[in-house]
Amino acid sequence: MLLDLKGRNAVVTGGSRGIGRSIALAFARAGANISICARGETTLRETEKDISACGGVAQKVHAAACDLADAAAVEKYIAAAAAALGGIDILVNNASGFGLSDDEAGWAASLNVDLLAPVRASRAAVPHLAKAGGSIIHISSISGLMHSARTPPYGAVKAALIQLTLSQAASLAVKRIRVNCIAPGSIEFPGGSWERRKTSDPALYNGILRSIRFGRYGKPEEIANVALFLASDAASWVTGQTIAVDGGQMLG
């Protein structure tokens, strides 16, 4: 019963595939009204249908294309989501620009989508979240908790997102808004980067696999389960926390 989200309004950015899709589906199954956004129209509409199919007939489902690197587009999307759902109780900042290369393009992609989009989405959503004592969940990465020599922009910005979680949790507690963060390990799903690396760079894929104590890559659903807990009343006294979900990957 504590994981019941019936009647709550949840917004999931980057919600059309992978971790975001799994979170949106898990929230819908728990009874929440759902809004998702993504850049790709095709996968966005497919996921919108999947969410509608797994939720109840009375649930509201909203989906909109949005370039999260565009400040005005983020503000417009949050306003549209709030209008479509009738408010916002839960905000999940999941999208990533996957800025991997240590150059201007890599840093811009990570900063604009992985950090500034959550800042902007949170700012736009706070007036709605404050009405019901809501919850913000940021999706970071274990790359933000350890060195990231292979992908410096990604690691540095994910670390900044963890720090943002602490700062927001402290400043928004007076509004009864909880702010937490999930740091996934390496997650494999159809069409995802690790599935592609399995054939394009098997040495890297297998090297990462060997580093995971549980002997396998994670599943998006395993991140969604933790997000469901953090969004629910079961986590009513949890704020300012970052939870690593990595199958022991950081243990080395």
Is position 154 annotated as part of the catalytic site?
yes
What contacts 133, CB < 8 A, 6 or more positions away? 175, 176, 177, 178
Rounded Cα gap, residues 86 and 7, in angstroms: 10
Amino acid at 17: R
Query: 110, 141, 143, 186: which one is catalytic?
Result: 141
For residues 108 and 103, what is the distance between their CA atoms, to the nearest angstrom? 9
Q: Is the dihedral of CA 85, 91, 94, 97 positive or negative?
A: positive
Gyration radius (Cα) of the chain, Å? 17
Report the candidate in 169, 233, 234, 187 with the shortest Cα–Cα distance to residue 20: 187
Which pair of tokens denotes residue 39? 């850049």
Token pair, residue 146, equals 């350890």
First and final C-alpha spacing in the chain = 37
Q: Does the annotation mark 205 as catalytic?
A: no
CA dist., res. 240 & res. 242, Å (int): 7
Gap between the Cα atoms of 49 and 122, Å rounded: 26
Count of helices and strands (H, E) across the chain: 9, 7
**16, 140, 186, 232: which one is catalytic?**
140
Catalytic residue among 96, 158, 186, 205: 158
Which one from 154, 186, 205, 232 is the annotated catalytic residue? 154
* φ, ψ at 129 (rounded to 5°): -65, -35
Q: Which residues are catalytic?
A: 140-141, 154, 158
